[in-house]
Amino acid sequence: MSRGPVIIVGAGIVGVCAAAHLAEAGYDVTVIDRTGAVEETSSGNAGAFAFSDVLPLAHKGMMRNLPRWLMDPLGPLAIPPSYLPKLAPWLWRFWRAAAPRHYESALAAQASLMKLAEAEWMGIIDRAKLRPMLREDGSLELYESETEFRASLSGWDARTRHGIAFRHVDGDEMASLQPGLSPRFVKGTFVPGWKTVDDPRIFGKAVWAYAERLGATLRIGRVDRIETAVTGPSEAETVIHLADGATLSAREVVIAAGAWSHRLARQFGDRIPLETERGYNTTLPVGSFPVRRQLIFGGHGFVITPLSTGLRVGGAVELGGLELPPNFARSKAMLAKAASFLPGLDTRGGHEWMGYRPSLPDSLPVIGRAPGNPNVVYAFGHGHLGKTQAAATGRLVRALVSREETPIDIAPFRASRF
């Protein structure tokens, strides 16, 4: 017997996982998206389940490196000058989030969500029979100097406190983990629990196919307006108005529209300081270089991931909103660095891409009921960890819609914290 109906706005990986969890619980689920399931930002990410990436962005060497990075328009962090005035309030909140008094609470919240994420992802992967798409090769983070390595140690100490396994490597062991590295790298850190998928778009669509088999449906359309209509003395339903003039209604609505979510939240009086980390990558053809596992170049802000569909070189952060045109010089700069890090890398024939990561200044997503509308659940703002945290978010959405106790404390993720 079906329960619901529930409407999810957004068919990225977070919305798709929420649909899967709700469909498993017997809800009648409709997902609305302007392009389709896992067609936008979720299709082009680096493919990682970064369960050990628990450090808030403001603490990952960001404040220490910020002045140097901002001097390089093609470096790990860039802000187009024309966008800086609009970004200033977000940067102020980001700077405040880096204060030591916020560190342990943000770290604990992120670690709690990551632990749930790993358990929920492995559950979905097994129930949907997607194990062949999962790669459990670990990751290798690389350092160009002893100084850079030592600067990373406090972050690794924090991971130790939360039970994350890793080991520091150098010499022959580092070379065996990834042959062909440039000698400029003097040390590395291997994380055995780091996982990737064979291709994030193909994987995400497989998760959607699982939700669809359980009864979830997809409606292509752009949401213009959401409002609540009173249907009885203590009853109300939420009405979705689409750009084509159609309307849909449900008792519960989930906002999982990624970088566009704050625009919908504003309709309920919730002003959430969501910004856009524009991420860039280039996917090279299969055989461009024999990369064995995801390589992380933290000092340069990008990764290299071996996929079944090619070799993906990408990452970095450009805080530039939703309207500015892409600057693919950033992709080219990362590719040039990758060629120097992996001598012999064939950089020909690549496909460039840009995606919009929804980012909040404290690096924590918004998950919970909308303060301005009890029939609306928020599930957005995961920054560069959307795929990693999607299954956990979907599980929390299911608990919220079902009016059940959540498996972890969601107070740190409340929208009202801003």
Q: Round the average pLDDT of the chain to a whole number and report it.
A: 93
Going from the C-alpha of 306 to that of each of 79, 253, 310, 366, the distances in angstroms are 29, 37, 6, 31
Place of tokens 């994420």: 117
Q: What's the pLDDT score for residue 131? A: 98
What is the amino acid identity at position 91?
A: L
Exposure string of 72-94, with b = 16+ CB inside 10 Å and e = fewer, is: eebbbbbbeeebeeebeebeeeb
pLDDT digits (tens, 9 = 90+) for 5-15: 999 999 999 99
Which band of pLDDT confidence, cut at 50, 70 and 90, is reported for residue 230?
Answer: low
pLDDT digits (tens, 9 = 90+) for 346-358: 999 999 999 999 9
Of 38-47, 68-77, 86-95, where does the model show the most confidence? 38-47
Question: Per-residue pLDDT averaged across 397-415, rounded?
Answer: 97
Going from the C-alpha of 4 to that of each of 80, 234, 251, 397, the distances in angstroms are 44, 17, 7, 13
Element housing 288 (H / E) = none
Domains of the chain: 3-42+203-271+363-417 (3.50.50.60), 52-196+274-359 (3.30.9.10)
Q: Which of 54-58, 305-309, 385-389 has the lowest mean pLDDT?
A: 54-58
Question: Per-residue pLDDT averaged across 135-146, rounded?
Answer: 97
CA gap 228, 238 in Å, rounded: 4
CA gap 94, 271 in Å, rounded: 16
pLDDT digits (tens, 9 = 90+) for 162-211: 999 999 999 999 999 999 999 999 999 999 999 999 999 999 999 999 99
Q: What's the pLDDT score for residue 1? A: 46
Question: Per-residue pLDDT averaged across 304-332, rounded?
Answer: 94
Contact 406, 380 (CB under 8 A): no
Place of tokens 């949401």: 223
Q: What's the pLDDT score for residue 102? A: 85
Q: What's the pLDDT score for residue 59? A: 64
Which band of pLDDT confidence, cut at 50, 70 and 90, is reported for residue 64?
Answer: low
Q: What's the pLDDT score for residue 95? A: 85
CA gap 362, 364 in Å, rounded: 6
Residue 60 pLDDT > 70, yes or no? Answer: no
Strands laid side by side in the 247-250 sheet = 223-232, 235-242, 247-250
The residue count of the chain comes to: 418
CA gap 7, 82 in Å, rounded: 37
Tokens of 290: 């024999």
Q: Check residues 368 and 233 and name the one with the higher pLDDT.
A: 368
Which has the closest alpha carbon to 46: 314, 291, 417?
314
pTM: 0.94
Question: Per-residue pLDDT averaged across 383-410, rounded?
Answer: 97
Residue 70 pLDDT > 50, yes or no? Answer: yes
